[in-house]
Structure 1
């Protein structure tokens, strides 16, 4: 018998929350000053060429306003630089400070180890299947797909 969508949703959200909390706890127990959210933002800024607040918002699935407030706090705490873009004075380019890089490097080691621990029960084939399933769910949640599906339902 197939698992119903409500049970799948509950399991997915529950697992995500427990994984998030496990990663947060690992960072805290190791004495790293970054929360998982801050770690993810700093990693995005580090890995994105000419990163702007828009890229932070998109990478984290948050609004521009929320991303702007988060970037402001990271800047205030000395973890990010904000530099006006040379080509578009309205845009701000974000870079990670030396202090941010140090915290990020330490956090990356902790997060990687905890991720390995969490996914250890899955075989390589299970990991591949899980990744494909998550990709399909992410694609289905795309707002453009919801609009297309709604239009087809009205036809």
Structure 2
């Protein structure tokens, strides 16, 4: 009997929510002030040269408005700075502050440990197979993914 798309979708969403919550719980228990969402945005800003809100939105799969509000809160909390782009005055370049970097560095170890735990029930070949399958699911549901570079895919 074939597994229905509905049951696969439900299982995927439940797994994602449980994995997300396990990382959030690990960060909270460790006393790190970052949520997983904030961690992911700060990591994107740190790792993206001349990062703008568009890159934040794209990396997180959220709208520009949602990314702008998130960046506003991170800026308000002293975790990001905004600097006018010298060659495009309409653009703002984002940079992680020293405080943001300290929180990010501490959170990275917690997140990595929680991620390892989340996938500990899978063998290495199963993790590899999952890493190959997930982008296909995303691409079929969101046409924008079809044009994403290979470096944006899931890596084991």
Q: TM-score, normalised by structure 1?
A: 0.91
Partner of 2:108: 108
CA contact (8 A) 2:78 2:99 kept: yes
SS of alignment partner, residue 93 of structure 1: strand
Mark the structure with the bigger radius of gyration.
1
- Per the TM alignment, residue 143 of structure 1 is displaced from its structure 2 partner at its CA by 2.7
Matches within 5 A, 1:5-44: 5-44=5-44
Partner of 2:149: none
Structure 1 runs of 4+ with >2 Å offset: 142-146
SS of alignment partner, residue 106 of structure 1: helix
Which segments of 5 or more consecutive residues in structure 2 lack a partner in the other structure? 147-156
| Pair 82,19 (structure 1): closer, same or farther in 2 beyond 3 Å | same
SS of alignment partner, residue 82 of structure 1: strand
- Per the TM alignment, residue 144 of structure 1 is displaced from its structure 2 partner at its CA by 5.5
Matches within 5 A, 1:57-136: 57-136=57-136
- Per the TM alignment, residue 14 of structure 1 is displaced from its structure 2 partner at its CA by 0.5
SS of alignment partner, residue 78 of structure 2: coil
CA RMSD in angstroms comes to 1.4
Map Cα deviations across residues 99-151 of structure 1 (whole Å, 9 max, x no partner).
000000000000000111111111111001101110111111223689xxxxx
Map Cα deviations across residues 75-101 of structure 1 (whole Å, 9 max, x no partner).
010000100001100000001000000
In 1, distance between residues paired with 2:138 and 2:91?
29
| Pair 144,25 (structure 1): closer, same or farther in 2 beyond 3 Å | closer
| Number of aligned residues | 146
- Per the TM alignment, residue 2 of structure 1 is displaced from its structure 2 partner at its CA by 2.1
| Pair 89,112 (structure 1): closer, same or farther in 2 beyond 3 Å | same
In 2, distance between residues paired with 1:117 and 1:141?
28
Q: TM-score, normalised by structure 2?
A: 0.90
